[in-house]
Structure 1
Amino acid sequence: MIPAQRKKFNQQLTAEKYKSFLDQLQDGYPEIPFRVAETPVFIPKALKEKLIAAGEEIIKLIKQPNFKDLTTDAIPTDWNVPNEGGQPHFLTFDFGICKNDAGELTPMLIEMQGFPSLYGFQPHLGKTFASHFDIDPSLNYFLNGFNEEQYIQLLKEVIIGKHQPHEVALMDLDAPNQKTAIDFFVTQKLLGIKILALEDIKKIGRQLFYEENGKQIQLKRIYNRLIFDEVANDTAIFKTSFDPREELDIEWVTHPNWFYRISKYTMPFLDSEFVPETRFLNQIDSIPPDLENYVLKPLFSFAGMGVIIDVTEQDINAIQDPENWILQQKVNYEPAVQSPTGGVKAEIRMMYLWPDGGEPQLCTNLARLSRGKMIGVRYNANFDWVGGTVAFMEE
């Protein structure tokens, strides 16, 4: 998107150099099971400013005094966890890169989450790109004036808080074998916290413990990476571990309820040039005649599961729970990243940290490249110049 930087990078890139970059990225870690793209994305200042402005509009909504009232119904009754905090600790906003009516590149909101993503891996990825390729130092994968040292310090403040690293654990279902496990290992290296599978944690009274060298160590804070959808059909696992829905003496980073509050559910409440028209399906008076310009999404799903891209009236009429679906105007991605074999579509995730007692701070980003119908691994199999990456933005 910055022509001079794109040309410069493409001239450097060879199959051998890409392989060497991947080897360096994985050095000391298990093999990365998802595809890392051949290139970063180069974001011009004008587009960066739009991305920042779009994020600020969303945060303004989240900070409204009535936000919790607006999103009460976002939390499934069966998954409402007690002792919810007053704020999320993580905000991630995904924007497709499009063209507006004036022919300018502009972001359009695709997804939003009050849930952590690759906060350890993304700076590691950016640093590896910068060390392996000749990237102009006036471009940065950090934002808002952050550098690596300041970012790690804020990450510690948010995740560890007032506790010791051994009292804090990153938790997921079968954590070491998750697809994003490299992020877990990078985070552990940065912060010194434990990585625990759900079944590694045991409940005694209201307290949670894990075992190390034959000793029971109390957990004070959980860096939660577990999405309840993954255990919804097999809650028996809680019987040998703990049930998050019980009253517990534990701090959540971030509290599980925020996964639902800040999600597709929030999008109908936003009115912005950077947000496609989005309505709850049960609040639509009539089906739009131009359904080819809309996409149908379930509220309670992740990783693009259940999305209907080519919507028909039959699809809409077949929905049994329209209150749990949104109808959203399609976003037309602009193939703005020039590969050696043509344009590639891009999505940028703006990543914020929100410390206790502080304000949300934009720190870094994630980017994804796509040639398929949707962004995501299952839609981009067997393509090159697709996958996860990071954006370097003009200062």
Structure 2
Amino acid sequence: MVPALRTYYNEQFTTGKYQAFLESLAHETGEGPAFRVAETPVFVPAALTSKLIQACEEIVEVILRPDFKALTEDAIPPSLKVAGENEHPHFLIIDFAVCRQENGELAPQLIELQGFPTLFAFQELMARQYREHFAIPPTVDNFFNQLNSDSYFNLLRELIIGPYDPKEVILLEVKPDAQKTRIDFYYTQQQLGITPVCVTELIQEGAKLYYLRNGEKTLIKRMYNRLIFDDLLRQKESLGALPDLFQHLDVEWITHPNWFYRISKYMLPLIHSEFAPKSWYLHKLPVIPADLEHYVLKPLFSYAGQGVIIDVTQADIDNIKDPENWILQHKVQYAPVIYTPSGPAHCEIRMMYIWQDGSPRPLLVHNLARISKGKMIGVSNNNQDTWVGGSCCFFEQ
């Protein structure tokens, strides 16, 4: 999207450099990514960067509303509500499509958002390896707010570990070694010293939780939560006996599971911005639009694009038995703004925030990008294409 950098990058690219880049990712973590990593980063021009930050801060203002919890109380399924919720999420991620306005300028359009962590560790590694293997110039940066790799991990360490010994903090997930994002877990462990632990390995004694660390029963004081509770319940029968994570526990959640639902697609109809497509709760829709081809249907309680209906018809709406659990959103037209040797691609940009306890608002720290040449953006799609997949952005300074 920065023409001079795109041209230079494409001209300098070789498959040998790309393979060396992938090998470096695997060398640092002990295993290569289980998802496709794109051949290129995304170069974001300053004007688009400014719009992205403006859009994010407008969304943050909605979250800061004093009545936000009341507005989002119905976002949490009653069966998935966890005790001990804190006052704000420790993580906030906001996804935007890169689009082109009528005047030809690039602009973001909100796709989704979550009060849940993403690949906070791996994205630093990916950006650093792009820079090392492809001579990314110093005029662009992957960080925000004057951060660098050291200060970035210092912030994550303070947020996730805090005053505790790293052995008293775990990364919680279902079968972490089987997750496609496991490379992030391994790199988090390297950088912060915390162990990925499967929920089945937790030992519960009253309100306290323990895990076995090198065979020794160890008290857990904090859990860096990567566990999605509706996913956990879907697998419950195959997992066997589990601790009761819904009760009040003598442990700190980073971040608390309820924020996954509060800050989610449920929020979309509450956001009014030129960078957010109009959205309605389906059961509150005043009238069904005649031009349904310009809308998408999204289930509120799903993740990773599951259940999204892109080409909406009246029959799709008629077949929905629980309209209170769906939203109708004006369709976003991605622009093919990334020019690659195998054809143009479009992308989503994820802006990544952390929110320290005691801070008045979250802090923008890093980013993630996903590049695609198909209708669906996720890195599990378009696996037959090249120059697509997970990536990161370098923002023009």
- TM-score in same-fold range (> 0.5): yes
Counterpart of 1:103?
A: 104
Residue matched to 2:38:
37
Aligned match of 1:20 = 20
Q: How far apart are residue 25 of structure 1 and its match?
A: 1.3
Q: TM-score, normalised by structure 2?
A: 0.97
Offset at residue 237 of structure 1 (A): 6.9
Instruction: Structure 2: state its 5+ residue gaps.
Output: none
Aligned to 2:317: 316
Q: Write the deviation string for residues 335-360 of structure 1: whole angstroms up to 9, x where unpaired.
A: 00110132110110000010111131
| Paired residue secondary structure (1:231) | helix
Partner residue of 1:4?
4
Contact 1:299 1:326 (C-alpha < 8 Å) held by counterparts? yes
Q: CA deviation at 1:381?
A: 2.4
Sort the Cα spacing of 1:153 and 1:298 in 2 relative to 1 into closer, same or farther, 3 A.
same
1:367-386 equivalences in 2 (<5 Å): 367-386=369-388
1:196 aligns with 2:190: no
Look up the SS of the partner of 2:234 in the other structure: coil
Q: What is aligned with 1:124?
A: 125
Q: Is the 8 A contact 2:22 2:32 kept in 1?
A: no
CA distance in 2: counterparts of 1:150 and 1:183, whole angstroms: 18
1:234 is displaced (CA, Å) by: 3.9
Indicate whether 1:85 and 2:79 are aligned.
Answer: no
The question of whether the paired residues in 1 share the 8 Å contact of 2:173 and 2:199 is answered with yes
Q: Secondary structure at the match of 1:123?
A: helix
Contact 2:97 2:349 in 1 (8 A): yes
Work out the CA distance in 2 between the residues paired with 1:74 and 1:327: 16
The one-letter code matched in structure 2 to 1:228 is F
Output the CA distance in 2 between the equivalents of 1:297 and 1:14.
Answer: 39
Quick check: 1:275 aligned with 2:300?
A: no
Partner residue in 2 for 1:329? 330
Structure 1 CA distance for aligned equivalents of residues 242 and 33 of structure 2: 28
The letter of the residue matching 1:271 is H
Letter in 2 for 1:15: T
SS in structure 1 at match of 2:376 = coil
CA contact (8 A) 1:199 1:237 kept: no
Partner of 1:290: 291
Alpha carbons of 1:350 and 1:341: their partners in 2 closer, same or farther (altered >3 Å)?
same
Report the alpha carbon displacement of residue 229 of structure 1 after superposing the two structures with TM: 2.1
Equivalent pairs counted in the alignment come to 395
1:179-328 superposed matches below 5 A = 179-236=180-237, 240-328=241-329
Deviation digits for residues 160-217 of structure 1 (CA, Å, limit 9, x no counterpart): 1221100000010011221100000111111111111111111011100011233211
Task: Find out whether 1:390 has 2:392 as its counterpart.
Answer: yes
Cα offsets for 1:348-374 (capped at 9, x unmatched): 000001011113110010000000112
- In the alignment, the residues of structure 1 paired with residue 336 and residue 240 of structure 2 have an alpha-carbon distance, to the nearest angstrom, of 49
Please identify, of 138-147 and 119-128, the stretch whose mean Cα deviation from structure 2 is larger. 138-147
Partner amino acid, structure 2, of 1:322 = P
Alpha-carbon separation, structure 1, partners of 2:173 and 2:76: 20
The answer on whether the counterparts of 2:342 and 2:386 sit within 8 Å (CA) in structure 1 is no
Q: Deviations over 1:202-260 (max 9, x none)?
A: 10111000112332110000000011121223435786331210121110000000000
Aligned residue number for residue 363 of structure 2: 361
Report the residue type matching 1:371 in the other structure: K
Q: Aligned partner of 1:354: which letter?
A: W
Instruction: Please give the TM-score of this superposition, normalised by the length of structure 1.
Output: 0.98
- 1:113 Cα deviation after fit: 0.3
1:287-340 CA-partner distances (Å, limit 9, x unpaired)? 100000000000000010001111000100111000000000000000001101
> d(CA) in 2 for partners of 1:231 and 1:106?
37
Contact (CA 8 Å) 2:342, 2:387: kept in 1 or not?
no
Letter of the 1:130 partner, please give it: R
1:262-310, CA deviations, whole angstroms, 9 ceiling, x for partnerless residues?
A: 0000010000000001000001122100000000000000010001111
Tell me the secondary structure at the aligned position of residue 120 of structure 2: coil
Q: Which amino acid aligns with 2:14?
A: T
Over the matched positions of the two proteins, sequence identity in percent amounts to 50
What's the Cα RMSD here?
1.2
Change (3 A) 1:258 1:81: same
Secondary structure of 1:150's aligned partner: helix
Q: Distance in 1 between matches of 2:237 and 2:205?
A: 18
Rounded Cα–Cα distance in structure 1 between residues aligned with 2:74 and 2:298:
17
Separation of aligned partners in 1, 2:122 and 2:155: 15
What is the CA–CA distance in structure 1 between the aligned matches of 2:16 and 2:315, rounded to whole Å? 50
Structure 1 residue runs without a partner (length 5+): none
